């Protein structure tokens, strides 16, 4: 072994210095070579969408600045990942390569091959858990099998020891002399081609602050006040009741352990199993994220196929016109349209509304959940394969912990319940602004004079409902018989 260890720290979905086990281990050993490799084709069934690429650009920008301030530059490279790692190892005379694990099927396959190849070449490789509270194999049934229902999964998780306290960021970082030469060959961040052209991201810039500092600030603000009303407020898209931490978690600008312990600190440091009320409801959301990764790890086929094999028989409808109207928020159901327009504008959608729009696509239109998953993947700043898969299969009724298929959300009643004053709809569907709270969620049911007074002509200013929800619901239930009877319609 060389006298002075040089460790490549391969950054992936862990774009932070705080609570980064791979970085901390490397820094403790000696000098480090921070490296990010852009190789999206290796990592998931689909290329990353424009919104998440926009976020990645700014997150990498912030990470590079933080590393530079700490004493070392960030190397940027294009894939293939193995080639990039081998070249950097040779240029910098590296002895070790470390990274924090990811759990997407394609990434596991790639990382396994890379580790085998690098070990065979004499490099020492180590990986760490930097993205989950527990490894997917740590929470299991008494028989050692994976869970497929959330509630028992959550109960078992709470019986585990508390997740370890988060690590502070390394006090100092040192780079090898050879890193300067390697850094001269860096492509610019702009050369990665992550930013949209033309630039349509103005609204996203106005509300999001990608990077570790922005993530820490958002967490601090959330646990000070919104946390203590989370149980009720989280379902209100007209209010700021959620943490909005999902993109920061996805890109690893913030660790789940940091969030877990920040919540515990706000309730006096109680063990998670003893926490009740709003804080417990929020911790369950972290548990749901763990559950999503647990499922994708144990059932990797679910990224493209239903967990419940019988749902392969479901007679999905090929409806490009309906799908396009759904994507653009032109369905004639205000809460659905508001959600889809929020998504298009901000790269994010309120979680309650995500459930409503997903139910509408797969049950009112009977368009495959995979079409919805692909659209969310392309438009969300927090597009995450595990969460996206679990959420869409839950909505479709074909996955783990799925609601019974007869639970078909009525978009009008959902709008009235969770946006009772119509403020969310008015924000994103401005053509309905002048309607009262009593009319705004069902303009097609309003009196002609009411619509006229609000300056609305259905079919011109705002679309007629694309379906009759009662009829669509019955058709969905009829289609379900193809699953239970083993027949196709």
- The arithmetic mean of pLDDT across residues 127-131, rounded, is 98
Structure tokens that stand for 128 in this block: 């760490």
Does residue 223 sit in the same domain as residue 317?
A: no
Does residue 16 sit in the same domain as residue 83?
A: yes
* Whether residue 46 lies in the annotated active site: no
Predicted pLDDT of residue 480: 86
**Residue 155 belongs to a domain:** yes
Confidence of residue 340 (pLDDT cuts 50, 70, 90): very high
**Residue 191 belongs to a domain:** no
* Percentage of the residues of the chain whose pLDDT score is greater than 70: 97
CATH number (domain holding residue 85): 3.40.50.620
Does residue 479 sit in the same domain as residue 363?
A: yes
Residues constituting the chain: 489
Locate tokens 């379900």: which residue? 480
**Looking at 46, 162, 288, 423, which residue is catalytic?**
288
- Residue at a domain's end among 298, 327, 357: 298
Confidence of residue 404 (pLDDT cuts 50, 70, 90): low
Q: Which domain holds residue 380?
A: 309-485
pLDDT tens for each residue of 131-185: 999 999 999 999 999 999 999 999 999 999 999 999 999 988 999 888 888 888 8
Does residue 24 sit in the same domain as residue 140?
A: no
**Looking at 61, 351, 423, 431, which residue is catalytic?**
351
Predicted pLDDT of residue 400: 85
Structure tokens that stand for 483 in this block: 């699953």
In whole angstroms, give the CA distance from residue 427 to residue 16. 34
- Residue at a domain's end among 298, 327, 349: 298
Confidence of residue 488 (pLDDT cuts 50, 70, 90): very low
Nearest to 38 by CA among 79, 73, 74: 79
* Whether residue 377 lies in the annotated active site: no
Predicted pLDDT of residue 109: 97
Q: Given a cut of 80, is residue 406 above it in pLDDT?
A: no
**Looking at 369, 375, 377, 394, which residue is catalytic?**
369
Comparing 195-209, 397-411, 422-436, the range with the smallest average pLDDT is 397-411
Q: Give the up-direction half-sphere exposure of residue 286: CA atoms within 13 A in the CB hemisphere.
A: 26
pLDDT tens for each residue of 259-281: 999 999 999 999 999 999 999 99
Predicted pLDDT of residue 403: 59
Predicted pLDDT of residue 424: 98
Residue 133's CB: how many other CB atoms inside 10 A? Answer: 24
Q: Given a cut of 70, is residue 405 above it in pLDDT?
A: no
**Looking at 285, 410, 423, 431, which residue is catalytic?**
285
Structure tokens that stand for 434 in this block: 């002048």
pLDDT tens for each residue of 345-384: 999 999 999 999 999 999 999 999 999 999 999 999 999 9
**Looking at 135, 316, 423, 431, which residue is catalytic?**
316
**Residue 207 belongs to a domain:** no
Locate tokens 């994220």: which residue? 289
Predicted pLDDT of residue 485: 64
Predicted pLDDT of residue 489: 39
Does residue 369 sit in the same domain as residue 280?
A: no
Predicted pLDDT of residue 469: 97
* Whether residue 478 lies in the annotated active site: no
pLDDT tens for each residue of 416-445: 999 999 999 999 999 999 999 999 999 999
Give the sign of the dihedral formed by CA 223, CA 16, CA 162, CA 132: positive
Say whether pTM exceeds 0.85: yes
Mean residue pLDDT of the chain comes to 95
Comparing 58-67, 248-257, 477-486, the range with the smallest average pLDDT is 477-486
Residue 394's CB: how many other CB atoms inside 10 A? Answer: 21
Yes or no: say if 241 and 229 are a contact pair by the CB < 8 Å rule. Answer: yes
Confidence of residue 186 (pLDDT cuts 50, 70, 90): confident
* Whether residue 326 lies in the annotated active site: no
* Whether residue 392 lies in the annotated active site: yes
* Whether residue 186 lies in the annotated active site: no
CATH number (domain holding residue 404): 1.10.579.10
- Residue at a domain's end among 262, 277, 298: 298
- The arithmetic mean of pLDDT across residues 36-41, rounded, is 96
Domain count, the chain: 3
- The arithmetic mean of pLDDT across residues 99-117, rounded, is 97
Does residue 386 sit in the same domain as residue 418?
A: yes
């Amino acid at each position: 072994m060389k006298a002075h260890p040089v460790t490549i720290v391969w950054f992936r979905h862990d774009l932070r210095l705080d609570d980064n086990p791979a970085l901390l281990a490397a820094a403790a050993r000696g000098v480090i070579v921070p490296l990010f490799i852009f190789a999206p084709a290796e990592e998931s069934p689909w290329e990353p969408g424009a919104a998440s690429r926009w976020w990645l650009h700014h997150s990498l920008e912030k990470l590079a600045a933080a590393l530079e301030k700490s004493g070392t530059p960030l190397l940027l490279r294009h894939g293939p990942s193995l080639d990039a790692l081998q070249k950097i190892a040779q240029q910098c005379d590296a002895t070790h390569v470390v990274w924090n694990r990811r759990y997407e099927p394609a990434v596991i396959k790639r990382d396994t091959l890379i580790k085998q190849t690098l070990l065979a070449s004499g490099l020492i490789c180590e990986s760490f858990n930097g993205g989950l509270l527990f490894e997917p194999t740590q929470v299991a049934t008494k028989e050692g099998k994976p869970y497929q229902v959330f509630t028992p999964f959550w109960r078992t998780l709470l019986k585990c020891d508390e997740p370890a306290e988060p690590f502070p960021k390394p006090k100092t970082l040192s780079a090898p002399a050879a890193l300067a030469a390697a850094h001269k060959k860096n492509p610019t961040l702009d050369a990665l081609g992550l930013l949209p052209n033309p630039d349509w991201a103005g609204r996203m810039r106005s509300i999001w602050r990608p990077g570790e500092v922005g993530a820490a600030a958002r967490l601090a603000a959330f646990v000070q006040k919104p946390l203590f009303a989370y149980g009720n407020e989280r379902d209100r898209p007209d209010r700021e009741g959620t943490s909005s931490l999902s993109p920061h978690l996805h890109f690893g600008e913030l660790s789940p352990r940091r969030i877990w312990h920040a919540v515990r600190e706000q309730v006096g440091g109680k063990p998670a199993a003893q926490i009740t009320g709003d804080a417990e409801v929020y911790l369950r959301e972290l548990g749901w994220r763990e559950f999503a990764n647990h499922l994708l790890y144990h059932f990797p086929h679910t990224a493209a196929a239903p967990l419940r094999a019988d749902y392969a028989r479901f007679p999905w409808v090929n409806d490009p016109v309906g799908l396009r109207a759904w994507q653009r928020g032109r369905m004639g159901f205000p809460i659905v349209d508001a959600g889809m327009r929020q998504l298009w504008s901000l790269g994010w959608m309120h979680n309650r509304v995500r459930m409503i729009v997903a139910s509408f696509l797969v049950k009112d239109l009977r368009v495959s959940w995979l079409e919805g998953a692909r659209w969310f993947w392309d438009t969300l700043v927090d597009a995450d394969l595990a969460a996206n898969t679990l959420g869409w299969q839950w909505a479709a009724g074909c996955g783990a912990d799925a609601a019974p298929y007869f639970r078909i959300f009525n978009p009008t009643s959902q709008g009235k319940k969770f946006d009772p004053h119509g403020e969310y709809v008015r924000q994103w569907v401005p053509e309905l602004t002048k309607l009262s709270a009593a009319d705004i969620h069902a303009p097609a049911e309003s009196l002609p004079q009411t619509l006229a007074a609000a300056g609305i002509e259905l079919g011109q200013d705002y679309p007629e409902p694309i379906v009759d929800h009662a009829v669509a619901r019955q058709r969905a239930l009829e289609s379900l018989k193809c699953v239970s009877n083993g027949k196709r319609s």
